[in-house]
Chain A
Amino acid sequence: KNEVEQSPQNLTAQEGEFITINCSYSVGISALHWLQQHPGGGIVSLFMLSSGKKKHGRLIATINIQEKHSSLHITASHPRDSAVYICAAQVRSDKLIFGTGTRLQVFP
């Protein structure tokens, strides 16, 4: 079993839908990162959080430390949100464990 699990692996949505991507981890962490990888391959850091909730535009990330679970929500999804979303658990200062990603496709 992977130490960081994401679900679903693939997700298809219609434009405007509310989207949730889940990340569960089995290790102790100091922070949880959410990353976005576009079809061209580049990776962008979306959030880094160690408790509670963060919001940036239409994106919201939450984390429940006790349940070892984090979610990434996208409100009013748009085709340009189509990408692979990756969560990464920071287990110590020099080590991240990455999930295998959730591929999201949003259709007009």
Chain B
Amino acid sequence: EAQVTQNPRYLITVTGKKLTVTCSQNMNHEYMSWYRQDPGLGLRQIYYSMNVEVTDKGDVPEGYKVSRKEKRNFPLILESPSPNQTSLYFCASSLERTWNSPLHFGNGTRLTVT
């Protein structure tokens, strides 16, 4: 089944403790992106990747890192999480070189930083 898999679904952590949220897609998509969703603000892009070893900042990249060593995986790394990073996170992928193709989303990761 074609899908984007995110893990974990729920994560509670403390300020400063490094964490990684994994994202994997099995559709051979070139383009992958991370978003955070906060009440009243909609989805905002954190980082995106147009291909292996190519990553770029989105609108809210501060406090986050990503890597794209393989086409299928695009992990989101929080080196030193802070409470303002408490949010619902989504990974998404798309087939073509532009975003002119349907988006496929993971099921989300709800992160709480205390």
Residue numbers of A with Cβ under 8 A of B are 4, 30-31, 33, 35, 40-45, 48, 86, 88, 90, 93-96, 98-101
Contacts and interface: CB of A to CB of B under 8 A. Distances in A.
Interface in B82-96: 88, 90, 92
A42 B105 contact: yes
The interface residues of chain A, by DSSP majority, are classed as strand
Contact of A94 (B56, B88, B102): B56
Contact of B98 (A33, A35, A93): A93
Contacts of B107: 40-42
B100 A93 contact: yes
B100 A31 contact: yes
Contact of B40 (A40, A93, A100): A100
Q: How large is the interface on B (under 10, 10 to 19, 20 to 34, 35 or more residues)?
A: 20 to 34
A93 B97 contact: yes
- Which are the 10 A-B pairs with shortest beta-carbon distances? A93-B98, A43-B105, A98-B42, A98-B43, A41-B108, A45-B102, A100-B42, A42-B107, A45-B103, A90-B99
Given A90-B100, A94-B50, A94-B99, A43 B40 contact: no
B12 interface: no
12 contacts: A30-B98, A31-B100, A33-B103, A42-B107, A42-B108, A48-B101, A93-B99, A94-B48, A94-B99, A98-B43, A99-B42, A101-B42
A58 to B, nearest CB: 19
A96 B45 contact: yes
A24 B50 CA distance: 28
B104 interface: yes
A86 B99 contact: no
A44 B56 CA distance: 24
A32 B21 CA distance: 29
Residue among A42, A44, A88, A99 with the highest chain B CB neighbour number at 10 A:
A42
B102 to A, nearest CB: 4
A43 B40 CA distance: 17
Contacts of A90: 99-100
